[in-house]
Amino acid sequence: MSANTPALENKKTMGMGQMKSVILALLLDTFLWTYVSLVLYKIIYEKMILGLRFPDFTWNQPITALVVGGLITLALFFTKFSIGRATQGLYDLDENKSIMKEPFTLLGLFIVFLTFIAGLYVSQISIREFLSQSGLTGARRIFTALFQPNLGILEPALFAAVETIYMAFIATTLALPFAFLLGFFAARNLMNGSRLGLAIYYIVRFFLNLTRSIEPLVWAIIFSVWVGIGPFAGMLALMIHSISSLAKLYSEQIENISNGPIEAITATGAHPVQVIWFGVVPQIVLPYLSFTIYRWDINVRMATVIGLVGGGGIGTMLMQYQGLAKWNEVGLLVIVIASVVWVMDYASSKIREAIK
């Protein structure tokens, strides 16, 4: 009797919240069934069973899949096969029965399995090619060359490595003041005082997320068209990405600080800028320093990758020798890169430990 009461109350209050859950559940189910139909037809049937290399694609196919998915969803929504209802907590589950035995769990496992099979196929995994005679000889040739690095180019390689480190350093340093300022504007606890503040918060957050979601590699390509191939383009790419990553980390740090000192400084009648300088900054300098050093470390690694698309430094050098198939030179460069990365990694973790 008493155990039933909450359920009854739930039914009574079935309002907006419940509606939203049902809609979300329906959408999720439709998506999953559409996905299953599409994978079954395009990959399992056409590619694997019929063995077609380039099956036709028309936009009718996904639309048909959507319709099929929708129909299956409607047919199965009120059975125990609805993953959507399970994730939205709309089932009254028997607590004694293991969740692993529920139909929707089994269905979920089947979808993961299907994705795995399709994934194997799409990545063109082929044991035969991996172990083929010509392939293995080629690999052996490269490996032996790599293990006989050409020390003759050590000097230019080191110069290029220094260029990369400096590029990463400048990118981090130039990003710092921007990230520092933006960090405050992206911290919710500082900005939610007024409507204008909140608006700025959302705009800044949006741009940070946008710039951060574009890989530095892509920024490097953009900037190498803009300012020409070279370290400057790489530096700009790293800087943009560092600004948004650091600003995000900084703002999270600000959101975690204790409110006490801020309150106390505000209560003295201090100007808002003074409140930030005396109430916020002392609480964040050390974590900031630690994040920034870590960022420099990351930037050195990224600078190498960016060099591959023409961002200058040791990455560019690596790309050039690789293009010429000069594997002994590539071997040396790989060693230099690995050492630089290792040293930076070690140094940055030591420094960060020391200032904790």
Partner 1 sequence: MLEVRNLQKVYDNGTHALKGVSFDVKQGEFLVVIGLSGSGKSTLLRCINRLHDPTSGAVNFEGEDITKLRGARIRSVRSRIGMIFQHFNLIPRRTVLTNVLSGSLSKTSVLKSILGMWPEEDKIKAKQYIDIVGLTGKENIRADNLSGGQQQRVAIARALMQNPKILLADEPVASLDPATSHSVMQYLKKVNEELGVTVICNLHFLSLVRQYASRVIALKGGELIYEGKPLDIDENWFKTIYGEEAVEVTIN
The encoded tokens of residue 307 equal 């060099």
322 binds partner 1 (CB under 8 A): no
- Is 338 within 8 Å of 301 (Cβ atoms)? no
Q: Which is nearer to partner 1, 35 or 278 (CB)?
A: 278
Interacting span for partner 1 (CB under 8 A) from 113-121, 168-176, 244-252, 278-286: 278-286
Give me the residue label for tokens 């199965």.
76
CB of 279 to partner 1, least distance (A): 7
Q: Considering only residues 24, 142, 270, 341, which one is a binding residue for partner 1 as defined by CB under 8 A?
A: 270
Question: CA 197, CA 188: separation in Å to the nearest integer?
Answer: 9
Closest of 53, 313, 342, 46 to residue 166, by C-alpha: 313
Q: Quick one: how many helices (H) and strands (E) in the chain?
A: 17, 0
Length of the chain: 356
Interacting span for partner 1 (CB under 8 A) from 64-72, 198-206, 270-278, 302-310: 270-278
Instruction: With residue 268 as reference, give the H or E element that holds it.
Output: none
- Is 231 within 8 Å of 167 (Cβ atoms)? yes
Interacting span for partner 1 (CB under 8 A) from 77-85, 149-157, 216-224, 268-276: 268-276
The encoded tokens of residue 5 equal 């009461």
C-alpha dihedral (317, 319, 321, 327), degrees to nearest 10:
120
Binding residues among 133-172 for partner 1 as defined by CB under 8 A:
none
13 binds partner 1 (CB under 8 A): no
273 binds partner 1 (CB under 8 A): yes
Applying CB under 8 A, the site for partner 1 has a residue count of: 19
State the burial class of residue 216 (Cβ atoms within 10 Å of its Cβ: 0-12, 13-18, 19+). Answer: buried
Interacting span for partner 1 (CB under 8 A) from 269-277, 291-299, 305-313, 326-334: 269-277
277 binds partner 1 (CB under 8 A): yes
C-alpha dihedral (323, 329, 331, 332), degrees to nearest 10:
-140
177 binds partner 1 (CB under 8 A): no
Q: Which residues contact 296 (CB under 8 A, 6 or more apart)?
A: 168, 169, 172, 344, 348
274 binds partner 1 (CB under 8 A): yes
Q: Considering only residues 76, 182, 235, 265, which one is a binding residue for partner 1 as defined by CB under 8 A?
A: 265
Interacting span for partner 1 (CB under 8 A) from 17-25, 117-125, 281-289, 345-353: 281-289
CB of 243 to partner 1, least distance (A): 23
Q: Which is nearer to partner 1, 75 or 285 (CB)?
A: 285
Interacting span for partner 1 (CB under 8 A) from 46-54, 60-68, 267-275, 308-316: 267-275
DSSP 9-35: HHHHT-SHHHHHHHHHHHHHHHHHHHH
Q: What single-letter amino acid sits at 93?
A: L
CB of 285 to partner 1, least distance (A): 8
Q: Considering only residues 126, 152, 282, 350, which one is a binding residue for partner 1 as defined by CB under 8 A?
A: 282
Q: Which is nearer to partner 1, 111 or 276 (CB)?
A: 276
CB of 271 to partner 1, least distance (A): 5
Q: Which is nearer to partner 1, 45 or 277 (CB)?
A: 277
Site mask for partner 1 (CB under 8 A), range 224-263, x = bound: ------------------------------------xx-x
264 binds partner 1 (CB under 8 A): yes
Closest of 309, 291, 290 to residue 247, by C-alpha: 291
Exposure b/e, 98-124, CB count within 10 A at least 16 = b: eeeebebeebeeebeebeeebeeeeee
- Using CB under 8 A as the criterion, which residues of the chain lie in contact with partner 1 when the complex forms? 260-261, 263-271, 273-274, 277-279, 282-283, 285
